[in-house]
Amino acid sequence: MLQRTKFKLTVYAVLLVIFLALLIWLAVFNAAQSRDYKRLSDMRLAQAELMDYFLQFNTFVVDECQTGSLLNFCQGRDGYASDLSAIIDPVNEGNFQYVVSDLSADNFRIDFSLEVGAGGLSAGNYALTVAGFGQATGE
């Protein structure tokens, strides 16, 4: 009888450890997916801001914003109050930053990454352009 009780306790302990591991994994996955949805929301906001900027100045070239700089360093021009300075990646380190790859008269490109994927996009590197979201290429 004692051996049977030990076996039951061992089975319960193993099941408890498995359940806790799954619960922790689920919490981490949901946090990463939530950050990815925030990134997609930030990119839609950046696209709207840049389109508004284009309508006012007929160019996507933003003062103080060079290729390779972070999106939140872009300020605008001549009293234009841009919300780009408030758009910062939730993690904001390593690959998880919004980097300006191109701002020309008729196009822009902002590179960003997704951790686990969201909104129909899988994890990986992406670029936002005038046309919308696209898989980033090694240009």
DSSP 79-103: T---SGGG---SS-BTTBS-EEEEE
pLDDT, tens digit (0-9, with 9 covering 90-100), for 96-139: 999 999 988 899 999 999 999 888 899 999 999 999 888 877 54
pLDDT, tens digit (0-9, with 9 covering 90-100), for 56-90: 889 888 877 888 888 888 876 666 667 788 888 98
Report d(CA 25, CA 96) in Å as an integer.
21
pLDDT, tens digit (0-9, with 9 covering 90-100), for 13-31: 999 999 999 888 887 788 8
- Supply the range of the domain harboring residue 70: 2-135
Sign of CA dihedral 67, 112, 131, 62: negative
pLDDT for the residue numbered 78: 67
Average pLDDT over every residue of 49-56: 89
Q: Report how many domains make up the chain.
A: 1
Q: Rounded to two decimals, what is the model's pTM?
A: 0.78
